[in-house]
Structure 1
Amino acid sequence: MTVAYPPARTVEVFEDVAGVRVPDPYRWLEKETQEVWQWQRRQAELATAAVYAGQDPEAVRDLILACDAGSRPDLPKYASGRWFRVVTPPGGSAPVVVVSDEPLGDGRKVVALAGSGEGEHPPVVSWLAPAPDGRVLALGLCTDGSEHNTIRLVDVASGRQFDGAPEQVLHSAWAGGVSWLPDSTGFYFFALTGTPEEFRQAVFLHRLGGGTEPEPIPVGEGSREYTLVQMSTGSRWAVAAHRVGSPVPVAVRDLSDPDTAWQPFVTGCTGTIAGHVVGDRYIAVTDVDAPRGRVVAIPFDAADPGDPAGWTELVPEGDTVLRSLTPVGEHLYLSEFDRTFARVRILDRSGAVTGEVPLPGRGALAAPFFPLTALATGTPAADFVFAFSTLTSSWGVYRHRPGESEPETLTPPAIVLDAVLEEGEAIAPDGVAVPYHVVRGAGGDPAPVLISAYGAANVPLLPQYQPDLAAFVAAGGVLVQAYLRGGGEFGRDWYLAAHRERKHVRDADLVAVAEHLLATGLTSPDRLALTGGSDGGLMCGIAVTRRPELWRAVLPRAPLLDLIGGTRDPYLDFVIRKAWGDPDDPAEVRRLLGLSPYQLVEPGVFPAVYLQAGATDPRCRPWHARKFAARLQAAQRGEAPILLHVFEDAGHGAATARDVAVAQDAEWLAFLIGTLGLRGVSRPGPT
């Protein structure tokens, strides 16, 4: 296939990073100029035309919409005996907040958010937080897909929006939105102190009817990590949990005495201590001295709370990976991974295990990506309301009451794929077994196979329903979900095995899985594709530049692709220093060069590539995809196309409007259908 790409000039630009001179011939594509926008739009037009050539776009979109009917729901929030949730009417209408006596009851409309958006798409509700007394509702609205959101305050009785809400912009929902004071008079929140590009954040305290002031929490000089303030009704303590991927309760404050300042609590800990305020103790899941996790209690009056010898162990380390705790009435529900599959045990407030929740199958609970975000639980409800799905069935919503044997189904799954789930493993070069799941429908072998993987940031990739991947299976493909080292599926050791100086282990694990699938005959090199997003997009970039012969197609989404250029971006500089290496060290810079896809591009024969990015992405800015696409198009000596589509009004995914997300998924799927020779589109069956 001969493709006439929009011309991309090169420039004589070099970056000096710790004394290492790095050429950057497409630096001009980092800027947001008319020239760049025109080039970007021409690339998008070319990608759309090439992807849908010979296909029916409406049929592909219909399949995406059918699978999207099983999308993960936003679970309701509880306060003062009532449940609050966001309802998005069909047809792209603005979201509505509903309050009801039951988790998913009809209830009544609190507020419609029409007219709050500044663009052509309705606003996205990034988070929802009712006050403990249920009278005031705080919510975060994003209007451009970027995840940057502002606080709105709504009177629940009248639906009227209050004046005087904080003006600060929240960079994302990773710190949970707002944390209400137990008496509902105000809340803490974590927001930007300057522009989003500067990426400086701090904790603020807002009083209803009063002002907003910075909150002096001792988190460490110069830290750019996220902070979430936790409180509990019936307890006088507030805790500041710090670090998004491996949170630790770094500070504590006695709210009963307004003159008492924040005091250091657990400091100097490199592990995770993620829990909740329960009376006069902090009860948490920790990987300190337990790579798979254990549950401990740390007294707030401990002489040295940072010394594990003073902690009380409530649940010891076992064969499963302990992930998080959720307060439910007088109980704590403990979420675990049993070889990636969800398990939930019930603890009383003393920490004794009193039972287990029978789950609907072998799958996953809905949970935030990061442990810190999972700590933003709000007012504990008397019931455990959860969403659950599998790789072959979409999300249902369930309720479990402590003491009852079975959970109640509130909403059953809308989609069940005509497919089976199989388990397998590949052996990495260092002898470690790398697990994967296969979702296979009817059809012969070798089948078109798509590997989906991530392997980074202690984030678990779980056996859960994802509409775009389900649509690929419904169209005749076989999905392989690989659990690479660097992820959070198998505990702290699994995560650290591909962290910082060992990042290359993740890429070796991926190649081991691909080669195993080929060796066992599940697929063939001309029918094997790879996809991943964000850091998984970087994984895709390394795969296409280092082992191009393995793949028929590679599809990076919202990708990070230039580690050297990323050091000039305050947000990515924070991420790279945390997860990759020190850009002030010349040896580390040279190591980063060997892992940075943009710098790895050299002339050669590459598989078909479809790069997808968002114009308002604040994490992996669109210039990563632009620069990589331009360099790869120039280096391509084969006939496979290198396509780029930067979608307008799209970000990193969490706040992208539904109609834009559907368009992204449809084009992504159409590329796979055409490139891999899938049989075409068909609708998955309902439950």
Structure 2
Amino acid sequence: MTYPPTRTVEVFEDVAGVRVPDPYRWLEEETPEVRRWQRRQADLATSVVHDGQDPEAVRDLIQAYDSGSRPALPKYAAGRWFRAAGSLIVVADRPYGPGRPVIDLAGFGSERNPAFLSWLAPAPDGRVLALGICTDGSEHNTIRLIEVASGRVLDGAPEQVLHSAWAGGVSWLPDSSGFYFFALTGTPQEFRQGVFLHRHGGTTVEPIPVGEGSREYTLVQMSPGSRWAVASHRVGSPIPVAVRDLSESGTAWRPFVTACPGTIAGHVVGDHYIAVTDVGAPRGRVVAIPLDAADPNDPAGWTELVPEGDTVLRSLTPVGEHLYLSEFDQTFARVRIIDRSGATTGEVPLPGRGALAAPFFALTALAVGTPADDFVFAFSTLTSSWGVYRHRPGDTGIETLSAPTVMLDAELEAGWAIASDGVAVPYHVVRPSGSDPTRPAPTLISAYGAANVPLLPQYQPDLAAFVAAGGVLVQAYLRGGGEFGRDWYLAAHRDKRHVRDADLVAVAEHLIAKGLTTADRLALTGGSDGGLMCGVAVTTRPDLWRAVLPREPLLDLIGGTRDPYLDFVIRKAWADPDDPAEVRRLLRLSPYQLVSPGVFPAVYIQAGAADPRCRPWHARKFAARMQAAQKGEAPILLHVFDNAGHGAATAHDIAITQDTEWLAFLVKTLGLRGRLNRPRPT
């Protein structure tokens, strides 16, 4: 394999006195030289991936299974439902009624930079619609205000840029006179954010006491009929850090729950904050905290509504006078209905064993807007695509609002591998129907295991297309994720981050020992922090894999300490970069620093040029070092896509192209040619 020429430089990074060589530092810059190099790498990747096969056949497969992609749920306000329908924003009397168009998003973008809807939030009175618009795939979005009756774009919208949709967009005041929002206070590169209050005519900084120097996200929560506002803080493990009485003019925010290492994620309900918490309950319990409590930090003053049980409690959704409690039963979703005293009044009869659609982070899930009188939710399984359903309190059944469009012709089974410390690590296997389970099969492990984020047994179009092409999917639930509660998450957090990587190896070795696959038929993929997992796996255990596919990856933890956003993430989840011992531990976890000459499997790295979280230089530097270190014949490929980011705001056509090339690499590397099948409709 002849790669584009790549020079090295004599550069060293000094982190807390630890001197680290960085021979590809120049690839961090966005210079004409780097962009030319990046383009040549992309051209090489495309030509190698598609050589000898029909890219249109792969693209057709991706598009067919993409028809089952997760829909954006409609938002409720003033008796009507607002939703995106293609480029149109539609308002209707029913969640998916025909309704009428309010505005066409195409007017906010261009052919080169189409507008992407990051979020939408109707005012409680339904007269004004707030939209978050991104035009470069970066997730950075700006607020647009639309008059619902006329579709007119209103003047005077805030000018601040929102770094992402992680704080839910905007939180309207109950009287629709304005809203709170969380946005950048400087450039995106500086990654400094704050809460703002916008009223018609002006925007001011909101002085919420979140702690000196905190870079965590903050979401303001309110509820119709309540006088209270709560500021929830921390994106992965939120707590109600401050409270304000809105009934009295001029009252200030006061600290609320500030001394809590765990999670308290809930909603304002009357004069209480009712929440799921892992304080005193690793699998979660439901508590009510008085919003006027003299000492809200003392759990003795909380009222327990639902005690800890065998399932993992995850989130609450207000529905009229009820609360719908989402929980995981061995990763599969259950939804219990409770009243405000915590008494169980029913359970939602879900369509199968699968997952409810949920935001990536717990904080984002708190941005529910105006509560509806019924529970509208999206649901899928590992073998059936997303449908949207409605449950009304008191009903014994559910109503299908939007039926699933794809049924994967596959079988599902469960298993577990025993990690080196004796812990059972669960996984699910999705196998094409009719395949022989006794013969080693081309297999793809998909995993994450980080940040208290649960990997759910849900439909993913790209993974479904891989199974349709003849592959076996293994979804592994590694420690560090949120599938099994707080203890599972903390078991691979900070100084225990290596546990996640050991769990992955245990699963891979178990699958090989079981005869499900062999090392020359086994591939691995993961995105973001899961991309770092891939980088560790390919550099420390190259013998286990035929192919490794990191997507939007974080790959240089040492270099990440120079990036304000990643410095925030690394300090929270990995180590203190001001401590030399901690820096040396980071070096043992950082894929870019782990690369040394050897024989590696095929690698295909995919990244976005506009990614604000794992900037494309991570992929560039890692690919360059891997290409120089490769002593074997397998290709090390890199494709950085223009106008693409971390995935949450990438335009649909670009995402389809990314998935097509990703799948084509797997089809070619694992020998799945000629097994490209169309989906079976439901």
The residue correspondences of 1:94-133 to structure 2 (distance < 5 A) are 95-118=87-110, 120-133=112-125
Range that drifts further, 299-308 or 172-181: 299-308
1:202-213 superposed matches below 5 A: 202-208=194-200, 210-213=201-204
Aligned with residue 80 of structure 1, among 78, 81, 94: 78
1:486 to 2:475 alignment: no
**Which secondary structure state, in structure 2, belongs to the residue aligned with residue 361 of structure 1?**
coil
Is 1:340 matched up with 2:331?
yes
Correspondence list, 1:566-577, <5 A: 566-577=560-571
Of residues 44-53 and 341-350 in structure 1, the stretch that sits farther from structure 2 once superposed is 341-350
Pairing 1:110-509 to 2, within 5 Å after superposition:
110-118=102-110, 120-208=112-200, 210-441=201-432, 442-444=434-436, 445-509=439-503
Aligned residues: 678
Tell me the secondary structure at the aligned position of residue 64 of structure 2. helix
Q: CA deviation at 1:113?
A: 1.4
**1:573 partner SS:** helix
Question: In the aligned structure 2, how far is the partner of 1:578 from the partner of 1:114?
Answer: 39
Tell me how far apart the structure 2 counterparts of residues 273 and 369 of structure 1 sit (CA, whole Å): 17
User: Given residue 400 of structure 2, which amino acid in structure 1 is its aligned partner?
Assistant: T
Partner of 2:595: 601
Deviation at 1:343, TM superposition (A): 0.2
Q: Write the deviation string for residues 263-317 of structure 1: whole angstroms up to 9, x where unpaired.
A: 1111111100000000000000000000000000000121211100000000000
Q: Which residue of 2 aligns with 1:685?
A: 680
Contact 1:119 1:144 in 2 (8 A): no
Counterpart for residue 51 of structure 2: 53
Q: Structure 1 residue 349: deviation in Å? A: 2.1
Cα deviation for residue 353 of structure 1 reads: 1.1
Deviation at 1:117, TM superposition (A): 1.2
Query: Identity of paired residues, percent?
Result: 83
1:71 to 66, 69, 72: 69
Structure 2 counterpart of 1:43:
41
Q: Deviations over 1:623-642 (max 9, x none)?
A: 00000000000000000000
Match of 1:4 in 2: 2
Q: Distance in 1 between matches of 2:144 and 2:530?
A: 34
Paired with 1:76 and 1:15, the residues of 2 have a C-alpha distance of 48
Partner Cα distance (2:625, 2:250) in 1: 59
- Rounded to whole Å, the distance in 2 between the matches of 1:115 and 1:641 is 43
Do residues 17 (structure 1) and 52 (structure 2) align?
A: no
Letter in 1 for 2:590: S
Q: Helix, strand or coil for the counterpart of 2:106?
A: coil
Aligned to 2:664: 670
How far the C-alpha of 1:348 sits from its partner, in A, is 1.2
By how many angstroms is 1:119 displaced? 5.7
- Rounded Cα–Cα distance in structure 2 between residues aligned with 1:412 and 1:667: 29
* Deviation string, structure 1 residues 579-629 (Cα, Å, up to 9, x no partner): 000000000000000000000000000000000000000000000000000
Query: Which of 435-444 and 480-489 deviates more?
Result: 435-444
Write the letter of the residue equivalent to 1:86. A
Residue matched to 1:91: none
TM-score normalised to structure 1 length: 0.98
CA distance in 2, matches of 1:273, 1:575: 20
For the residues of structure 2 that align with 1:478 and 1:431, how far apart are their CA atoms? 26
State the partner residue of 2:559: 565
Measure, in 1, the Cα distance between the counterparts of 2:157 and 2:111.
22
* Secondary structure of 1:114 counterpart: helix
Counterpart position of 1:621: 615
SS in 2 for 1:297: strand
Paired letter, 1:547 = R
Secondary structure, in 3 states, of the residue corresponding to 1:371? coil
Question: Which string of whole-angstrom CA distances, capped at 9 and with x for unpartnered residues, describes residues 65-97 of structure 1?
Answer: 000000000000000000000111xxxxxx110
SS of residue paired to 2:501: helix
CA distances 1:332-351 after superposition (whole Å, capped 9, x unpaired): 00000000000000011222
- Which stretch shifts more, 108-117 or 321-330? 108-117
- C-alpha distance in 1, partners of 2:360/2:343? 27
Q: Distance in 1 between matches of 2:359 and 2:536?
A: 27
What amino acid is aligned across from residue 681 of structure 1 in structure 2? L
- What is the aligned counterpart of 1:654 among 648, 652, 674? 648
3-state secondary structure, aligned to 1:343:
strand
| AA at the equivalent of 1:539 | M
Deviation at 1:115, TM superposition (A): 2.6
Distance (Å, rounded) in 2 between the aligned partners of 1:626 and 1:115: 35
CA distance in 1, matches of 2:113, 2:178: 31
**Contact 1:437 / 1:480 at 8 angstroms: preserved in 2?**
yes
Distance 1:259 1:39 in 2: 57
What secondary structure does 2:363 align onto? helix
Q: 1:415 aligns to what SS in structure 2?
A: coil
- Distance apart, 1:682 and its partner CA: 1.0
Secondary structure of the residue aligned to 1:115 is helix
Contact 1:138/1:151 (8 A) holds in 2: yes
Give the secondary-structure state (helix, strand or coil) at the position aligned to 2:364: helix
Residues 5-51 of structure 1, C-alpha deviations (whole Å, 9 max, x = no match): 00100000000000000000000000000000000000000000000
The alignment partner of 2:20 has SS state of strand
Confirm or deny that 1:633 pairs with 2:624.
no
Aligned to 2:517: 523
TM-fit CA distance, 1:118? 4.7
Distance 2:599 2:37 in 1: 24
CA contact (8 A) 1:469 1:479 kept: yes
Quote the Cα distance in structure 2 between the aligned partners of 1:349 and 1:306. 22
User: 1:249·1:273 contact (CA, 8 Å) conserved in 2?
Assistant: yes
Partners of 1:352 and 1:108 in 2: CA distance: 40
In structure 1, C-alpha distance between the alignment counterparts of 2:514 and 2:646, rounded to whole Å: 36
Asked if the contact 1:594/1:600 (under 8 Å) is kept, the reply is: yes
**Unmatched segments (≥5 aa) in structure 1:** 89-94
- The 1-side partners of 2:269 and 2:103 are apart by 33
- 1:92 aligned residue: none
In structure 2, distance between residues paired with 1:472 and 1:663: 15
When structure 1 is superposed on structure 2, of 350-359 and 70-79 the one drifting more is 350-359
